Chains A and B, each alone.
Chain A
Amino acid sequence: MAGRTSAKQVDVMLLIETNSVIGTIWERRQGLVYLMSFCQRYGVTVVIPEVALAEARASLLARIDRQLNSLQQLRQWLNDIARAAEMDKLVQSVRQGLNAIEAELRKRRNEVQEAINTFAQVCIVVPLTPQVWTKAYVRWKANMPPFKELDCLVTETLLEFLRKRKAKLSLFLTMDAEDFDHPEIHADFKRHRTNMLFDPHAVIVEFRKFYGVA
């Protein structure tokens, strides 16, 4: 954390969306891990819409919840099998194994919550307000890029944030080029002096240029 103060003075902002969370926690993409570590060490402002953080949390937890549900189904089958007198002991030992697996899954579920909370601690989490929701709804209903409802919410949340906050260097990193790489969205962010980039390495290059390291 030694460099936190010096970086704060330069006021760099990195705007991200759900893919950056998934890309860090699930995919362990080195470029993203590098960026998150850099931002945390040197106090670079990371900005994430509340709705993107919620989506990431739900997606990561859903994977564990699916495993917990499967476990529950197994227990139901075991109850059925355990009705045969000779099976009872065997079922008991399997149940003990299932209990241990369930305890481990619940522990990991808590770790996911902690990981997301830790991620959020280094970010400005931009709330979803009724005004933003209305703008996003209109954008989505008007079939404007990025077209999908959730992506419209992300876009409008970040644009609303940029109306109020300025930085010397402002970048929006999204790995979803399919939905976001449209001239209209580039122009929307450009109006707020923010560059939209689609690759963590491109962000690293911009950071190096900005800090005179390139």
Chain B
Amino acid sequence: MSRRRIKTVNERRRKFRASEEMRQFLLREPEEIDFSNDAFIQKLLAPFADFPVEVTRRWAEEWREEHRRSR
């Protein structure tokens, strides 16, 4: 009966190794990335994109306040 070889630590870690593209993404800070060409993100932001961010942040705060008052 053949025994399964136990994987070495390096072999196990290899499974989680990021691709180079992924690495480059993760190495950057959120503020350093320009998402203006990211179609997925732009679709999420589209409905309120032309409102000043201070305005939509105030709406979010109002929403949180409503949530705080709920039970």
Interface residues of chain A, those whose CB is within 8 Å of chain B, are 2-3, 6-7, 9-10, 22-28, 30-31, 33-34, 36-38, 40-42, 59-60, 63, 108, 111-112, 114-115, 118-119, 122, 147-150, 168, 176, 178, 200-201, 204, 207-208, 210-213
Contact partner of A111 (CB less than 8 A), chosen from B27, B47, B67, is B47
A sample of 6 cross-chain residue pairs with beta-carbon separation below 8 angstroms, ordered by A number, consists of: A10-B16, A25-B48, A147-B71, A211-B17, A211-B22, A213-B27
Chain A residues with CB under 8 A of B46: 111, 114-115
Instruction: Judge whether B41 is part of the interface by a CB distance below 8 angstroms.
Output: yes
Docked pose: A118 CA to B44 CA in angstroms: 7
Q: Is the CB of A9 within 8 A of B38?
A: no
Chain B residues with CB under 8 A of A6: 18-19, 22
Which interface class (under 10, 10 to 19, 20 to 34, 35 or more) fits B?
35 or more
Docked pose: A3 CA to B16 CA in angstroms: 12
Residue of chain A at shortest CB distance from B58: A26
Chain A interface main SS type: helix
Interface residues of chain B, those whose CB is within 8 Å of chain A, are 13, 15-19, 21-23, 25-27, 30-31, 33, 35, 38, 40-41, 43-48, 53, 56-57, 59-60, 63, 67-68, 70-71
Specify which of A23, A33, A178, A207 lies most central, judged by the most chain B CB atoms within 10 Å of its CB.
A33
